[in-house]
Amino acid sequence: MAAMRVLTVVAAFGFLGGCTTLLYKGPTRSASEVAVITSIDTIVDKVDNVMVRDSMGTFAHLEVLPGPHRLGISLNQVEFGGVMRSGGYIIICAELEAGHTYQTRPMIRGDRFAPVLVDMRTNKAVDPRCRRGGAKPQAVLAAPSPHARPKIDPAPTEPLLDVPSSGEVVAAAASESSPPPPPPAPATDSEEPLMDAAELYGESPQHLPSDAVLANRPPGSGISLFFGGGFGGEDFVKATSSNGDEETLSSGTGFILGVGVMLTPLWIAETVGFGVAADAGIKYDHLGADNGEASITRYPISLSAQMLANFSNGGNHYLIVKGGVIRDFGVNYSISGFDMIDANVSGTWGPIGAIGYYKRSTDFYGWDILGYFALNNHLIGGQSISAHSIGVLCGMHFRPF
């Protein structure tokens, strides 16, 4: 039960990490050092010059460095009877603060749409205009409810996105060059001129230290959860049913469930990586008959070196090759009913190898499928029994750092 709880926690952390996209280089920063962008009824299509629309869509969780950012936001509102989506996105500009979480929401009046960025700490909408000199924007109006269409007063001015009654949205001014709708004037005594995104940045915006950039962390490091099966080894028990079907319990056969750690620190041209891995799990097989049952339980531990090679021109697809040693610990052979055996035996170290496909899904999450072989043995009363096996393993990988 304790092992299952550990595996459940690993899987949960992997899922949560898989929803996050980092938009800065370097090691993972604490929550107090980054700004977080989420969305509801909208999609964040673009942050600065990085397209992020495929990063979990409406459920995106984007981490950026604090500072001024340009956000391309489109409508994605699900209502009874249909979905309203825009054919493009509107650019707004805002300076995001460290330690704050922001949420993009739709501001809809009639058949018109404009995006709103809400600071979740203050529940106030942020001024979507940038200031020269980097002065922080002021909250300009109470945030619209994420669960109801807000009443806007004063009404946003052109350009907006048209929302026809058909439920589909036509982009009236959806290109990146379209300026955002001006919000109500902020209450401030600053004399700094306010600039909208298009006026401040133009078609070729200046590079800023806070600008978003995909982390693109290399795979092959973190915590793993894997499962699969192996086949082979010497026969321990054979059973024949009344209809003539034969079942066999073998030393190398069984279902496998385990956890592991991987570290791949050395990369050549961000294409070929070299590292190490350690895995531990349980391997179990059972055979039942009318007159009794038998089982084999093993706890394999493997230590290996690994190589990952990108074969998708810098994409997220890798060949993974592993080689090392494996040994079964806590080996137990058990028979009850037609015979009585309860033997605890030892295993020997033997070579193991694997080759397969690794997919880097996000900076935090990946998965793989491997074909493997293991050439280890079990020792019973000084006699060596082959526990050799071949099989398939599927793994999920979470990188917490």
Structural domain boundaries in the chain: 31-201, 222-398
Residues 35, 96: Cα–Cα separation, whole Å: 6
The structure tokens listed for 50 are 């990085």
Direct distance between the N- and C-terminal alpha carbons of the chain, in angstroms, rounded to an integer: 28
Average pLDDT on 273-288 reads 95
Average pLDDT on 337-344 reads 82
Average pLDDT on 138-156 reads 46
Q: CB pairs under 8 A, 24+ apart, for 201-205?
A: 201/70, 201/93, 201/130, 203/177, 205/48, 205/49, 205/70
Q: What would the pLDDT profile of 76-89 be if each residue is shown by its tens digit? A: 887 777 777 777 88
Residue 273 near residue 307, CB atoms below 8 Å: yes
What's the pLDDT band for 385 if we cut at 50, 70, 90? very high
pLDDT at residue number 164: 42
What's the pLDDT band for 27 if we cut at 50, 70, 90? confident
pLDDT at residue number 313: 85
pLDDT at residue number 145: 56
In the block, tokens 């028990």 appear at 237
What's the pLDDT band for 245 if we cut at 50, 70, 90? confident
Residue 298 near residue 254, CB atoms below 8 Å: yes
Residues 283, 351: Cα–Cα separation, whole Å: 17
Highest mean pLDDT out of 149-153, 188-192, 246-250: 246-250
Residue 272, pLDDT > 50, answer yes
Residue 203, pLDDT > 50, answer no
CATH, domain range 222-398 = 2.40.160.20
Which region among 7-16, 76-85, 128-137 has the lowest average model confidence (pLDDT)? 7-16
Residue 170, pLDDT > 80, answer no
Closest by CA position to 357, among listed 392, 323, 313: 392
What's the pLDDT band for 200 if we cut at 50, 70, 90? very low
Q: Which residues contact 144 (CB under 8 A, 6 or more apart)?
A: 105, 107, 116, 118, 125, 150, 152
Average pLDDT for the chain: 78
Residue 136, pLDDT > 70, answer no
395 versus 341: which is more confidently predicted?
395
Residue 5, pLDDT > 50, answer no
Average pLDDT on 111-121 reads 88
pLDDT at residue number 130: 56
pLDDT at residue number 111: 74
pLDDT at residue number 161: 53
Q: What would the pLDDT profile of 289-316 be if each residue is shown by its tens digit? A: 777 789 999 999 999 999 999 998 878 8
Residues 56, 53: Cα–Cα separation, whole Å: 7
In the block, tokens 């604090």 appear at 66
Cis peptide before 154 (omega within 30 of 0): yes
pTM of the model: 0.64
